Amino acid sequence: MWNLQNLRLLLLIWMFAGVLSACGAAPVKPAGNTPVAKPAPEPPPPSLTPRERTVKALLSDAESAMSQGRFSLPVHDNAHDRFRAVQLLDPGNKQALAGLHGILLVYVDRIQQSFGAGRLHAAAADLRQAEQLFPGAELLQPLRAELARRTKATETVALVPIPADGRERIALPAQPLAEKTEEMKQLLVTLAQRVRQSDESIMIYARSDAEGRWIYKTMKDAVDDYRIRGDIRINRQPAVELLSPME
């Protein structure tokens, strides 16, 4: 028989167990297998229209042609034509616009490098091609002016008659030569182009062997497809002497 004291003790234990449960005892798991809710599947991406698929394919082919150096050639298989085709379908396409601008910069760099090496024929050919691809491009206008200036300087030297004794000495201004100015380089490039046309040989007069070698190298680099024949002598007055082909 339960007495009053035992009942009280049982009641105390039951109350204490309730307090522990309220303070963080592990919750009782519900019986049975409760299904876990799965996230709703994402909707499929919208399908591209035929025009969008064509633009995407053209841009991919154009970028591939760019990476292979096919900027404007061969005909119908180059980056330029594909970027232009994209613009016909999507005039505001930024990727096509950026690609065309990149091709223009390639031509600008080529022309400037040809100027630096004195290859006026190569510069003129690239400039003509660039002007056909990008008519009215502002980046090409100063290059056209520079080509005209350099061409005129070349023609001026080429028209100078060869003296009867077969020798012509062209003085090189000392200070510009020491500073290796662009004007000095252009003078040497022009002389090199004349020598290639006339097959004359040269005698370089320089204040040091290093200066003489720089003069010769500058001329040689300007006509890398032609072997300039000549020699170097030390002299206080720098000059290039043109000798007749027979000498």
Give yes or no: residues 129 and 195 share one domain. no
Least confident residue range of 17-21, 51-55, 168-172, 213-217: 17-21
Specify whether 70 is located in the same domain as 123.
Answer: yes
Which pLDDT score is estimated for 133? Answer: 94
pLDDT of 12 above 50: no
User: Does 116 share its domain with 166?
Assistant: no
The answer on 139 and 169 residing in a single domain is no
Q: Tell me: do 135 and 210 sit in the same domain.
A: no
Tokens representing 35 are 């299904």
Q: Is residue 79 part of a domain?
A: yes
Query: Same domain for 56 and 123?
Result: yes
Pick the residue with more confidence: 54 or 34? 54
132 and 61, same domain (yes or no): yes
| % of the chain beyond a pLDDT of 90 | 41
Instruction: Count the domains in the chain.
Output: 2
Residue 14 covered by a domain: no
128 in the same domain as 110: yes
pLDDT at residue 136, rounded to an integer: 93
pTM of the model: 0.52
pLDDT higher than 50, residue 205: yes
- Distance between CA atoms of residues 233 and 169, nearest Å: 13
3 or 144, greater pLDDT: 144
Residue 25 lies in a domain: no
pLDDT tier for residue 45 given thresholds of 50, 70 and 90: low
The model's confidence at residue 21, banded by pLDDT at 50, 70 and 90, is very low
Same domain, 140 and 172: no
Domain limit, last residue, from 106, 125, 157: 157
Q: Would the pLDDT of 19 be above 60?
A: no
User: Is residue 32, in this structure, part of any structural domain at all?
Assistant: no
Q: What does the alpha-carbon distance between residue 67 and residue 80 come to, in Å, rounded to a whole number?
A: 12
What is the C-alpha to C-alpha distance for residues 149 and 71, in angstroms, rounded to an integer?
Answer: 28
Within a domain: 145: yes
User: Do residues 82 and 108 both lie within one domain?
Assistant: yes
Residues 148 and 221 in one domain: no
Residue 4 has pLDDT above 60, yes or no: no
Shared-domain flag, residues 183 and 120? no
Residue 130 has pLDDT above 90, yes or no: yes
Q: Which domain holds residue 177?
A: 162-243
Q: Of 122, 157, 192, at which residue does a domain stop?
A: 157
Asked whether residue 133 is domain-assigned, the answer is yes
Lowest mean pLDDT among 80-84, 188-192, 232-236: 188-192
164: phi then psi, degrees, rounded to nearest 5? -60, -30
| C-alpha to C-alpha distances, 144 to 101, 135, 140, 215, nearest whole angstrom | 18, 12, 6, 27
